[in-house]
Structure 1
Amino acid sequence: MANNRNTNRYSVTALYSMAAEQDVEVEDDLARAQKRLRELKGRISTQSKKNFVLERDVRYLDSRIALLIANRMALDEQSEVASTLEETEATFGNALDDRKTQQYANLFFLLQSEPRHIAALCRLVSLAEIDTLLQTVMFTLYGNQYESREEHLLLTMFQSVLSAQFETATEFGSLLRANTPVSRMMTTYTRRGPGQSFLKEVLAERINSLIEHKDLNLEVNPLKVYEQMIGQIEEDTGSLPPNLPRGVPPEVAQENPDVQAIIAPRLTMLMEIANSFLLTIINSIERVPYGIRWICKQIRSLTKRKYPDATDFAICSLIGGFFFLRFINPAIVTPQAYMLVDGPPAKHPRRTLTLIAKMLQNLANKPSYAKEQYMMSLNPFVENNKTRINAFLNALCDVGDFYDTLEMDQYMALSKKDLQISITLNELYNTHSLVAQHLDVLAPGDKHHLRILVDELGPSPGQVSRKENRTVELPLFSRWETPIQDLTTAFMSENNVTQNDILYMETKSIFVQLIRSIPQLADKRPINLPQIAERAATTKDATLVRKGIKVKEMLRELEELKVVDRRDGYALMTDEVEAELAHLGNMREKVMEEMRSLESVFKTICEHNNYLRSQLDTYKSYLQNVRMTSGSGKDKGGTAVGVVSFGGKERKSAKSQVLGPYRFTHAQLEKDGTIVESNVPENRRANIFFNITSPSPGTFIIALHYKGREKAILEMDLKLDDLLEKQKDEVQLLDLEYVKLNVSRILSLLNKTFSKRKG
């Protein structure tokens, strides 16, 4: 009988285990740690979304500001850019009436819990529309990146999208390669919290130790090496020998013995570095986020189904295409964008990182040739690691499925009263509009639930201005499925579980709660269940007394039903309670470990947010300056900063007021990374300070002073557009003779100092 009961009971064991893990009635270390972890995960999800939106703004403004710098932007475009820079702090409030709220609640519950609709939509929209839709899907609809139900629903959506991509693929070679909405979607997925956390944990240290060597030049392109070599010879001797002409073709450069001698040790070193990167990645397989491994698994099974004759190498090249091309390599090539390093790497390390990424890509993609001829000389790296990388890519796919847990999570969702998402009005209206636009494909039949909901909502409102774009807390509930009031009854009816099984699970669950509330009850092993119940029933805590009396009664009832037996000391239940406690004990360690890891992720995400904001502030100051000073704008050169055209003559702007001076010590600027190098002797640095003034918008004067001397040692004019252009051209340093400043940091400092004082 026990065996039969066990079999039936296993379908609900998971449910009760989930309930114990999330128990809100208990206040022990685990419960407190879990609460903090839940809050931290929520903050990461919210912050990730903010960063995604800011990154889009910065990307858009990058291109617009580049035009401004080149003086090619019309005034109406300047206004459009200015509107993008309006303050966009989220305002909360209910801008929807009750009826609309209910209709949107039903629509978004359907879209969230039936991912196939969003999957189809992602394939139907254009590349121009995909970013806005992805923002809603990845960071709002399934925005709780650490909540298993939302994560699993999102992965189910990926499965649909990938299946369709494979169905419509015409040739093997083009699969998942092109820049399509699907590939954009896969890249965006890797930018969520768990992916970012992995990159930081696994790659940051390796990349930072490489970029410390600023002068290590590992260029192996013969043409570039030749040009650098003759440039050096000319600098040293003042002229070039006749046998080393300029502008030679690649093959001549490649044949030059000196070039070959320079390249040979570099190839060895590059292969060593690439090997160390590869080893670090392979050894971290257990830390790769589940979702990324599961997508790899889908790519493998879909490829096998669509191309049964495909070799293991060919299949692995597709998996590698996703894992390396979309996930690992972008972080190696631009580590600053992933906050793995403090600032953009210097020229030589940047080139080394690019070469490492190319080598990993060639290894993962298995081309029998390299696109650039000179990369062929790095082929031993590919040959030596082929088998190793294949084993790794196959092992990546070895993860279990989540369909059973998803079914359980869906049950839990129907019983939740507080299922909701934070969504902006524009996200709401944009998704509504896209669904309506493609409704005939998404929901062809009149009786289709999606069609009924969209028809009831009517036409989608247009996009609102940034100031009116409120964030609303949208409750989610189903129009057709009845909310489950009692999970126990639902499971009994669906899973052929008897009342006895439920009574057994509930009894076990209360014992676990009691021991968590009074930990010393479990000091003696084996634990004595009747004694625990008695102790709880005689405490001064009313809740514990109630539970103690209740569990005594339940244990007696189970004994009458012959489910447990006091003669063996209730062995079956005692063992299970101890197992559950051990599981929860291990869980506390895991929770603490996860929290430590996520705190570092959250810090990184916040730093990235600050960086993006300072970038927007820079653009804001620049735009304000340009608009103040564009004047008649007839001549392309425009008038000088701080001057306006007036009656055909140039006159100083009446509004132009001198701001400053603001004083900064050498130590201050060195500490915050603004001063990168200093030629000021150590013993004199304490006496050095900088005065910064802004005589007119966009113009700054930095004066270097020595304490006790009235006159400045050095004065230098800085123009905001020059600094921005340097940043755009990735020039890292600004040379002030005595000190070298970090361009991004000085821009940020000028913004902080002067934007506050303008009003």
Structure 2
Amino acid sequence: GALDPPLSVVRKFVHLLEQSPLDLQEEQEVTRLREEVVTKIRSNQQMEKDLNLMDIKIGLLVKNRITLQTNPSYLAKLIFQMPQNKSTKFMDTVIFTLYNYASNQREEYLLLKLFKTALEEEINSKVDQIQDIVTGNPTVIKMVVSFNRGARGHNTLRQLLAPVVKEIIEDKSLGINTNPVDVYKAWVNQLETATGEASKLPYEVTPEQAMSHEEVRSRLQASSLTLRSATDKVLNSIVSSLDNIPYGMRYIAKVLKNSLHEKFPEASEDELLKIVGNLLYYRYMNPAIVAPDGFDIIDMSAGGQLHQDQRRNLGSVAKMLQHAAANKLFEGENAHMTPMNIYISQTYEKFRLFFQSACDVPEPEEKFNVDEYSDMVTLSKPIIYISIEEIINTHSLLLEHLEAISPDCNDLLHELLQDLGDVPDVETLLGEGAVDSNDPNRESTLSQLAKTEVSLTLTSKFELLEGDDKDLKTLMTKTKKLVVDVIRIQPGETLPEILETPATSLQESEHKKIVERRAVQDAQTPEEMKSSLCVLEDSQLPLEQKKRRIQRNLRNLEQAGLVSATNNYQDLIKDIAKDIRYQRRHRQRRKAEFMKLQQTLTALNSKASFFQEQMNYYDTYIKTCLDNLNRKNSRRSIKLDGKGEEKGSKKWKPQSLKYTAARLYEKGVVLEIEGLQTNQFKNVMFDISPTEEVGDFEVKAKFMGVEMEKVQLHFQDLLQLQYEGVAVMKMFDKAKVNVNLLIFLLNKKFYGK
């Protein structure tokens, strides 16, 4: 543990630097688990996207006002989520992919450095007033929040908020309502229900009129006390759980505060802490309190949803905390809440201390001991898991924005991209012949193949070639490895003494055994875990030759000012001692990481099971909705039994529809047919008939009684086009059709609307 240990002490521990078969096995296990976790994260994200699409499909069916006859208890909550900005989504996916969702400390360190740089750039170039960082909603802030809120599979917010949120949800007696008009109406309803007579009180009142009644004021007072009590519980859970806030979230809060202080030195501590509060409370925690079911804070069964009163209770608490975090007092339309303003100010003081403490974290270099990272102990090279499509998109983006990213044409990135050449296509990366050139579905097959995931072992193109000792860091590492090998076998008080004393034949023999044992293990080591050749090249030398090599290297290192013969090269010995300490910590961390990865994988598998259950439920639900379209004459409701199968009325099969193009032209459904005058439309007949698959139709076109072509029409596709604002579509590549009027026609003729 000494900062400057003598060589005789260091010598006793150098054997700890030897990589054992157990080290190799543990490293391989962690690498395998890391790959499994990253793959599962990506798989879950895809399932979540699919669920969002299913949500939209269900929403479209309801938006189209199709009457549903299913049991209300089976109704899934309907979520309308507009498609997100594609570039932001791509940046999310690729950046998190490149850093492996920060699944180990090295990658978390690098990702945080990226976030820090991006945030400082944002503040320097785009923020003119301190509030801009709040109103501008920068991409980097969204990414930081999304990442720390659970993108990599652990949900620390769940630990932080689940107990208190569950308590609020499960408290049946809790009824928080601070809206005077709502409270007034509830009171009037109660009076009428109790007496069975119409109340003489007016039904429509202003907040001021509602507050003029003693009963309303009394109920509001009781509700306010309940609200304060519930808010205190959530607040206490937050401020007492500082250690549960991810380090990355706290570090970015620190960067945010320091960068704003640098740009706006006149800004008060309060102003800066309100911005920190906007990040830590409003962006990170608030949404999870308002909608705990949407942020994996609580477990919901497929199709389950929170009751309106539960949502209002949570929303009221969140609103109080939001005002307190920003020290924003109630006024204007919230004037009825002004009695809470003293409480808001008191709560802000607690938040203020919390935000200050949250920013008090070490720099990543200290947190992750990056200065101690060394080739002496690092076994595996970094690996990333990325799809072919993402490689192509990343390459395209780099070329497209090269001037903005790297204005200096001598930058290494220019050299790299020049070597890589043009953006490759899928076949170039997968190898020619991956898809048969005669395959009629070639494009669709290539599109699927683009999603193929590969693992890439990262090595630096700019590492110096074998034997080139100009790189001082590599030279230092190589020298340390040689010194460890020598002092492990040969005793002595100082390094010069050992180097100048010839090795005995017994010592040479002992050294040879170690080298041979290491060679056997090296042969069993996977390629991606082997050290670089330039570091390993001297390891096979006999003991005396190693000593000569050390002396030569020490002269070069001394010329560079890295070591000194006057103190017997003690700086190098200190460095080896640091490596030994780090090796111990590295092994401890690896064990901890292994445990953490196992827990994460369990949580991800559980989430995947939930998504699958939800998808099965939604799938059955959509089919049931569509099936209901065919039952306009049936009054019996359709219910789903335990297996998700339908019970109810008999099948009702509608007849096909026959229209001339002239009639559909009159109705505005057909707009034009290429190559035909409108006076010829009477010779074209459209035959629309439902298929066995609910919601699918077959449309045949006949000209003068001769069948020309037929197409499949999917009702959901029409709804999707309508949702995307597409007014006109083509059928048979010739007929232009009005989408809205075609939907109206199908609804009217087939679904009794």
TM interval, shorter chain, is: 0.5 to 0.7
* Whole-angstrom CA distance in 2 between matches of 1:286 and 1:440: 42
* Whole-angstrom CA distance in 2 between matches of 1:487 and 1:237: 97
CA contact (8 A) 1:424 1:471 kept: yes
Aligned position for 1:613: 612
Q: Are 1:67 and 2:60 counterparts?
A: yes
Deviations 1:130-170 (A, max 9, x none): 112211112x1112423222212211221122112212112
Alpha-carbon distance, 1:300 to partner: 1.0
CA contact (8 A) 1:152 1:402 kept: yes
Aligned position for 1:227: 185
Q: Are 1:212 and 2:170 counterparts?
A: yes
Aligned position for 2:355: 393
Match of 2:318 among 357, 362, 375: 357
* Whole-angstrom CA distance in 1 between matches of 2:592 and 2:414: 46
* Whole-angstrom CA distance in 1 between matches of 2:61 and 2:691: 24
* Whole-angstrom CA distance in 1 between matches of 2:148 and 2:484: 39
Alpha-carbon distance, 1:655 to partner: 4.5
Aligned position for 1:468: 449
Deviations 1:319-356 (A, max 9, x none): 11111122212222222223222224333222222222
Output aligned runs, 1:579-590, within 5 Å.
Answer: 584=584, 588=588
User: Cα 1:326–1:448, aligned 2, differ >3 Å: closer, same or farther?
Assistant: same
CA contact (8 A) 2:329 2:341 kept: no
* Whole-angstrom CA distance in 1 between matches of 2:578 and 2:402: 54
User: Cα 1:503–1:69, aligned 2, differ >3 Å: closer, same or farther?
Assistant: same
Deviations 1:642-689 (A, max 9, x none): 545323499998858xxxxxxxxxxxxxxxxxxxxxxxxxxxxxxxxx
* Whole-angstrom CA distance in 2 between matches of 1:584 and 1:410: 12
| TM-score (norm. length: structure 1) | 0.60
* Whole-angstrom CA distance in 2 between matches of 1:151 and 1:622: 41
State the secondary structure of the residue aligned to 2:22: coil
Which amino acid counterpart does residue 457 of structure 1 have in structure 2?
G
User: Cα 1:579–1:421, aligned 2, differ >3 Å: closer, same or farther?
Assistant: closer
CA contact (8 A) 1:642 1:652 kept: no
User: Cα 1:618–1:345, aligned 2, differ >3 Å: closer, same or farther?
Assistant: closer
Q: Are 1:52 and 2:41 counterparts?
A: no
* Whole-angstrom CA distance in 1 between matches of 2:157 and 2:469: 42
Aligned position for 1:481: 462
Q: Which range is displaced more, 186-195 or 357-366?
A: 186-195
Aligned position for 2:387: 424
Aligned position for 1:153: 110
Deviations 1:192-251 (A, max 9, x none): 467843112222222222222234211222222222222333333334422x31121122
State the secondary structure of the residue aligned to 2:199: coil
* Whole-angstrom CA distance in 2 between matches of 1:68 and 1:697: 11
State the secondary structure of the residue aligned to 1:245: coil
* Whole-angstrom CA distance in 2 between matches of 1:328 and 1:335: 10
* Whole-angstrom CA distance in 2 between matches of 1:480 and 1:36: 27
Aligned position for 2:213: 256
Structure with max Cα Rg: 2
* Whole-angstrom CA distance in 2 between matches of 1:498 and 1:128: 47
Aligned position for 1:457: 421
Alpha-carbon distance, 1:296 to partner: 0.8
Which amino acid counterpart does residue 360 of structure 2 have in structure 1?
D
* Whole-angstrom CA distance in 1 between matches of 2:462 and 2:578: 38
Which consecutive residues of structure 1, in runs of 5 or more, have no partner in the other structure? Answer: 11-15, 74-125, 512-532, 562-572, 634-639, 657-695, 699-720, 722-759
Q: CA RMSD in A?
A: 5.4
Aligned position for 2:157: 199
Aligned position for 1:702: none
Q: Which range is displaced more, 270-279 or 306-315?
A: 270-279
Aligned position for 1:338: 295
State the secondary structure of the residue aligned to 1:176: helix
State the secondary structure of the residue aligned to 1:175: helix
User: Cα 1:144–1:627, aligned 2, differ >3 Å: closer, same or farther?
Assistant: same
Deviations 1:477-504 (A, max 9, x none): 4664116879999666676x995x6667
Q: Are 1:323 and 2:318 counterparts?
A: no
CA contact (8 A) 1:643 1:651 kept: no
Aligned position for 1:133: 91
User: Cα 1:408–1:285, aligned 2, differ >3 Å: closer, same or farther?
Assistant: same
Alpha-carbon distance, 1:316 to partner: 0.7
Aligned position for 2:405: 442
Deviations 1:36-60 (A, max 9, x none): 6665444333322322333233334
* Whole-angstrom CA distance in 2 between matches of 1:419 and 1:545: 23
Alpha-carbon distance, 1:284 to partner: 1.8
CA contact (8 A) 1:127 1:181 kept: no
User: Cα 1:510–1:232, aligned 2, differ >3 Å: closer, same or farther?
Assistant: farther
* Whole-angstrom CA distance in 1 between matches of 2:182 and 2:579: 65
Which amino acid counterpart does residue 22 of structure 2 have in structure 1?
E
Which amino acid counterpart does residue 156 of structure 2 have in structure 1?
F
CA contact (8 A) 2:329 2:344 kept: no
User: Cα 1:222–1:262, aligned 2, differ >3 Å: closer, same or farther?
Assistant: same
User: Cα 1:584–1:409, aligned 2, differ >3 Å: closer, same or farther?
Assistant: closer
* Whole-angstrom CA distance in 1 between matches of 2:267 and 2:153: 29
User: Cα 1:489–1:433, aligned 2, differ >3 Å: closer, same or farther?
Assistant: closer
Aligned position for 2:226: 269
Which amino acid counterpart does residue 602 of structure 1 have in structure 2?
L
Alpha-carbon distance, 1:264 to partner: 1.5
Alpha-carbon distance, 1:68 to partner: 2.5
Output aligned runs, 1:280-679, within 5 Å.
Answer: 280-343=237-300, 344-369=305-330, 372-403=334-365, 408=371, 418-454=381-417, 456-459=420-423, 461=425, 467-477=448-458, 480-482=461-463, 584=584, 588=588, 599-621=598-620, 643-648=652-657, 655=692
Once the two structures are aligned, what percentage of the paired residues are identical?
A: 20
State the secondary structure of the residue aligned to 2:250: helix
CA contact (8 A) 2:278 2:325 kept: yes
Aligned position for 2:500: none
Output aligned runs, 1:716-755, within 5 Å.
Answer: none
User: Cα 1:338–1:36, aligned 2, differ >3 Å: closer, same or farther?
Assistant: farther
State the secondary structure of the residue aligned to 1:207: helix
Which amino acid counterpart does residue 172 of structure 2 have in structure 1?
K
CA contact (8 A) 1:133 1:431 kept: no
State the secondary structure of the residue aligned to 2:385: strand
**What is the number of equivalent residue pairs in this alignment?**
552
State the secondary structure of the residue aligned to 2:94: helix
Which amino acid counterpart does residue 200 of structure 1 have in structure 2?
R
Aligned position for 1:279: 236
* Whole-angstrom CA distance in 2 between matches of 1:619 and 1:143: 31
State the secondary structure of the residue aligned to 1:170: coil
